[in-house]
Amino acid sequence: MNQYIAPIRDMQFVMQELAGLDQVLALPGYEEADRDLVDAILEEAGKFAGEVLAPLNRVGDTEGCRWEAGQVTTAPGFKEAYRQFVESGWNGVACEPEFGGQGLPRLLSSAVREMWKASNMAFSLCPMLTQGAIEALALNGSSELKARFLEKMVSGEWTGTMNLTEPNAGSDLAAVRTRAEPQVDGSYRIFGQKIFITYGEHDMTDNIVHLVLARLPDAPAGVKGISLFVVPKLLVNADGSLGERNDAWCASIEHKMGIHGSPTAVMIFGENGGATGYLVGEANRGLEYMFVMMNEARFGVGLEGLAIGERAYQQALAYARERVQGKDMTSRSPESVAIIRHPDVRRMLMLMKAKIEAMRALAYVVASSLDHAHQASATDERNKHQAFADLLIPVVKGWLTETANELASIGVQVHGGMGFIEETGASQHFRDARIINIYEGTTGIQALDLIGRKTARDGGAAAKALVAEMLALDGQLAEQADADFTVIRQALVEGAAEMDDCVDYIVENFSANAAEVAAGSVPYLMLVGIVAGGWQMARAALAARRRLDEGSGDASFYRAKIATARFYAEHVMTQVAGLSRTVREGGKSVLMLDDEQF
């Protein structure tokens, strides 16, 4: 199924009621934006996603990319769609006006990016990587590098990549061997091989700006000896025009389980004398700079989880409404009914709907905090929001992508046997989703970041602050004297308490027994995601109740919000107690076997 309809109504609800759109628009730098502009951008983005990108999703999957003699040809229609994408100004929505961007809030750009990813995940990877490269250069590049590259990258005329991984160095970047040799003119010659480079070569733009991790001759060992370099596909002359071909070549592209429309390149630098590169910032600080890209990319990959879950849900829902099979258990009619009438199909659809709404709310709230962290006038406010975002970015990346795999699988299940048939398209979402909890650091890496840097390092302060914010909702929930809110309130209070207990366990035991605590890190990440999602669902239910009491808006939409929040409390939050026990008690058994006993 190629159809995708952007869920603009729900996006607007989350942005306005949960993510504080009005407060974001009031931040310094966003004075030119208002709700009318936001709504207009969402509408236009929805049209572009649905009419231009979505029809190419299946094409990208079936046709894929072709490599020949170092050149890559993208799937039919991709090049033309990218040209429309650039001409419409979509690439620079959240980029700085200084370099030709529109300077709009991350909250808005996150909603727009969700549409690109849901409509055509393979296509969306190219602008996502470019966005990360732009941010790394804007923050750390010299004025000369910014002048040479950023305007063309912000417009989308040129694209960007991240070159981290090597055959001998996957997530362990301390093992990077690519080397950089200084030249008398201040440039460097780059020699080495990188693998898994998304859009490392393609035919959609004339130039590709690679950001490459490499070592200088006198660099210290380990991660402290890594520097970051700009290595363009085509060299750029002093007047900004394109010059000769650089010694950076695509040796091959990978044959993958999914995202066939996105070329994943093996890149070779320096086979013909060395690729010309330019140092970004200071020597030996490359990993620090690359983490700017990586944090941006991790949040973006989290949005992919939300997006592909949404796409799988839309397809499953459409099929459930159309597929007629079996009798209605609530009726004596002999007529067969659409499978959406069957209780277990409804359960699966409700699980998809509830988790997607929780995922969207959490991602957009974090995006809003990033806006405050970057734009707020007061230092205290910036720091508070940065701590909140830092804590939750690994959760957005890890929980949303793990959940997306679950939802894509459920989407296949709703289709029954037809879900296993490629022509229906349900299996594409399942295959495409499988990479996202590996991208930009596996779920295990995100979980180690969450327990180590984000929970244990500050004595649990940020995590405890989050728990306190969750529990601050208790009074408002208690004021709603009906069964729905009683269930929602109890689930949130109990879930927050379990999270608090886990934080105490991690803080008390991490230094003395890091391995045992780390064994429960992924369950802890999933617990935090579920509880944070439940917090947002409770907030959504309260906002919906306020609108119903006012008698304003779509009453059916608001009643569905409350019902979905209750479902989340009864079907998702119930997992928290088990996860909490695993975090606090299950680490020892993970480590009990000797290697040879496996």
Angle at CA of residue 481, ends 476 and 485, nearest 5°: 65
CB atoms within 10 A of CB 300: 23
Q: Rounded distance, CA 99 to CA 466, Å? A: 36
List the structure tokens of 3.
Answer: 């159809």
Angstrom distance (rounded) from CA 595 to CA 173 = 25
DSSP state of 238: T
Q: What stretch of H or E contains 54? A: helix 54-63
- Cα(120)–Cα(502) distance, rounded to whole angstroms? 38
CB of 583 closer than 8 Å to CB of 523: yes
Gap between the Cα atoms of 307 and 49, Å rounded: 12
Alpha-carbon span 424 to 420, nearest angstrom: 8
Inter-residue contact 131 to 300 (CB < 8 Å): yes
- Biggest CA–CA distance in the chain, Å, is 87
CA distance 341 to 328: 6
- Let me know if 440 is a catalytic residue: yes
CB 160 within 8 A of CB 204: no
- Residue 597: count other Cβ atoms within 10 Å of its Cβ: 6
Q: Which of 254, 235, 365 is nearest to 299 (CA)?
A: 365
What whole-number distance in Å separates Cα of residue 521 and Cα of residue 449?
Answer: 9
Question: Which residue is associated with the tokens 């649990």?
Answer: 460
Say if residues 139 and 169 touch (Cβ distance below 8 Å): no
Compute the distance between CA of residue 276 and CA of residue 284 in angstroms, rounded to an integer.
Answer: 18
Set 114, 166, 440, 498: catalytic member: 440
Calculate the CA dihedral of residues 474, 475, 480, 481 and round it to 10 degrees. 90
| In contact, 166 and 195? CB cutoff 8 Å | yes
Chain-centroid distance of CA 352 in Å reads: 18
69: left (phi over 0), alpha (psi -120 to 50) or beta: left
The Cα 136–Cα 140 span in angstroms is 6
Residue spans of alpha helices (H) in 120-179: 121-140, 143-145, 151-155
Residues 6+ apart with CB under 8 A from 248: 190, 210, 231, 232, 233, 267, 268, 269, 275
Please answer whether residues 224 and 284 qualify as being in contact, where contact means their C-beta atoms are separated by less than 8 angstroms: yes
- Phi-psi category of residue 12: left, alpha or beta, with phi > 0 → left and psi -120 to 50 → alpha: alpha
Catalytic residues: 440
